[in-house]
Structure 1
């Protein structure tokens, strides 16, 4: 995996190098080529248009030079017959040239005729070197020059009569027509004159300036003039290569005067978005195709290496897991054997018929697996277990809940064993199809517990037998107490504790004389007070034990004769101040006592008992417990029938 990661990092590093030192460099180079090529194209376009303009202007000038009126006017030294303003207007209206000027200069260099003004006679040769040079050497001249009004295109042709030099005809035109053509090509031009020439101007034609530099094209964009001023006009005038701005590139071309000095600067702004960048686009496409192919190759290579490494690792993992599974299977078999040997486990169908039993179950029950399969669990049911326990268990598991409890079972040989059982439903497609039960052998603990119960029960029975009452009375009181405790809301453990301790409720009677305890007549007041001391005596006998069971028994002995209204004994406790154990045992004891015969009374009929209990609700007894008693009366009567005398 580390090797694969290293290859991936190397490939990434190579891509970064390629992008940095090839792609970015090539992009920069191609971009410069585009700008350089466009610069040449723009300059060539400008020069071609200048050349065309010179050609057309020369043609017009040549035609005018053949007008005999000009020769006659110069010979007569009278320009009154010359007027070319209408002709110029027609040329400007129907042709592409605007702002044409015509000037005629005599052989001595003086202004003879001007189409734009009547003011003539000034010595033009003294202001313009080109005129002076032509007088010295008469021949056609064309070029860009600067006078007192503007930077213009000028065409000059010498005039002769019979071989004798008479003067010069000159046609002057502006830059607007060329600027218009450039604008149509998405080029914004600024025709700028060197600031040295602006000092000679009498009245600048366009009236446009950037700093001290005159702008010759009348249709120059104001926004681009502002851009040029912000960048710095001097910087733009002397550009050697295209200047790249955020949205534009700037190209500059120069023109020299007749003596090679700086005169005109032609600055062109081009929108970068409108440049032909196909070469750049083609390179990017080609580059990304190559990179994509290389990337695909590297990805495939990476996947191949990754797959190979993964396959190797997978094979190793499979081998390890296979080995681990084998060990786990062996361990599971061993655990299942241990489980089967040590865990008392069984399964039944939905009707309770045994379908499987562990070896431990067979050993503790004394039956073979063949003897258990197909039989109901009743095969190990001990007769001491109340039917109500199995009824509650069956209702719980049929409702989909888990039942937990202690069960006394019968072995094949007739002996018994105790288990702590947990029974739960088995589901298939959300339906209960059977039940499983796990048990823990608690026989030894239960025998100790049974001995303790038997001792407590025996002790309780001593008090009852001294008053010539049956032992079943304490059994019934114990069962009534547990049932009432469970219905009241006490948990299983606490309810069982109450059941085991309740037989001790009258233990104090062992200290009451037989003459009082078994007196068939009504007790005297003094005898009654002695009889009532059995509650205090029972408490005194048990209170010093630290055992929870005996502590519970002490509480029951002490408070089972207290009354809800506070008129009971020995302390006159009232309402909920009476411990719940005492309140429950009071009802259980009175209910059973009233239905049993004593030396001093006959057993009451049920209707009389029920009437008494209802009448004493909120007086003798806790009203909530009385309500619970009557809501579950059938179960109490079932217990009475199960433990009849």
Structure 2
């Protein structure tokens, strides 16, 4: 009895000691996990800021080279400069959004602002960097606060021809694009300005405040702002690096003004559930295993004290069973390792958040497991994939159906890979639908070959057009018109795509026509016209030998795109539906584009003349049903023409 009591007391102290060690280890691991996340967020923010500064500096330099800026400052005439169009084009053709330009004269007064007509104020009064620029003109790349907002600024001095300082130009960009980058990563940003700067504002850009502190990102989460205000903005601004706040882990970064004073604070709210705490979970499992092991040892020891022989018998049985379990565990582990290394597999919850990925998945995507777990599956979504494909996928999955789909995914390094994926819902042991799983097969090599084939075919079509010196984007527009008209006509998606790829080959036979005929400015004589007509059958002969569906369709289009509905076309005088739907579609698209383009033998027709011609040839040259479809969707065809118009 005494021995049993001694064992119980010993057990109590041992378990207490283990729990003490457990709490220490857990605290250290927790601190390590959150410190790692803090550094990760700060590095991500620093990288985004650096990228933003670089882009802004390059654009500022280019605009500063405009002589109109120098002339306007020297003549004190603001009407000589207007950068609205330049800014519009930069924001349209690049990732740089929300850009503003300000020009300040050598005395610190605002001379020109692209975003407002409010000028002439003493800008140097609100900004120390302007004062510094006047004293010591030089390139300055800063984050500063003026009369409207906290922004990125690149400032360059402007000199006259005699190298006299006459003013400065700065490019201003907002924080909202950086904030959006964090939102795209499921991180809520909140950019807060020190209250000392608020009173200098003429017109705050976002009009968002927490107390007296201005919020610089327009897309700030309003619910989070309310929580921070309730918590106390002063206490929030005084946190050191990070804070556990409700269901969030908050990372703080900050920036000083040019004299080292407090200016801006940057807070990043990450859902605790989105932070990888697998190390802590693993430690807890190990701890539980240690406790169980300890209990087993104590029980075995107690049994030993009660009956040594019986304990020996139990030990022999345990050894045998343990050995079997170990063997089975090792075998199962080897199978799982093989599966993990070779099968591209993933699981998500019902919202599409990744909860498991295989090593093969990480290898092909370039991501580490911790970079994927907890993220939305959209992290690997490639922009080339149409939204319709994913709508179809989710509709099927929500009905409990399996879906097979070819998907183009995005790698971490910006590259891509193609997979043939089988998606299906999965259920827990109680039969409850809890998420989705997908097994994939890498088909990148096959897809790359298909892309090369399409590119070769398009290039061959371009060669045919370039021989006759036709407009540079003619084949591209005919391809897009053909796809649109085929789709509107009810053809299957596969046929529409094949026709889009095949239609650029419609004039490939022109490679066999002499330049003297192709480039003749005047009307062709009878013999020349007959020779020109042979390009249709020559194009067909060039392509007909292939068994590939794409080249077969290209051969049909080459031969039949000059056939006419009433049978008066060439090369063999087919009529009505004797002409394939592919030839009829390409005929309309080719003529529509050709009439609107300058050629060596004619000038481009006006739209009214083109539309009248197409309508007049309905039922003669062209399939009347297709002409009706064309005019019913005319705006879509004109949009394509505008998108791919020729530039000279």
* TM-score bucket (shorter structure): 0.3 to 0.5
Q: Report which of the two structures shows the higher radius of gyration computed on alpha carbons.
A: 1
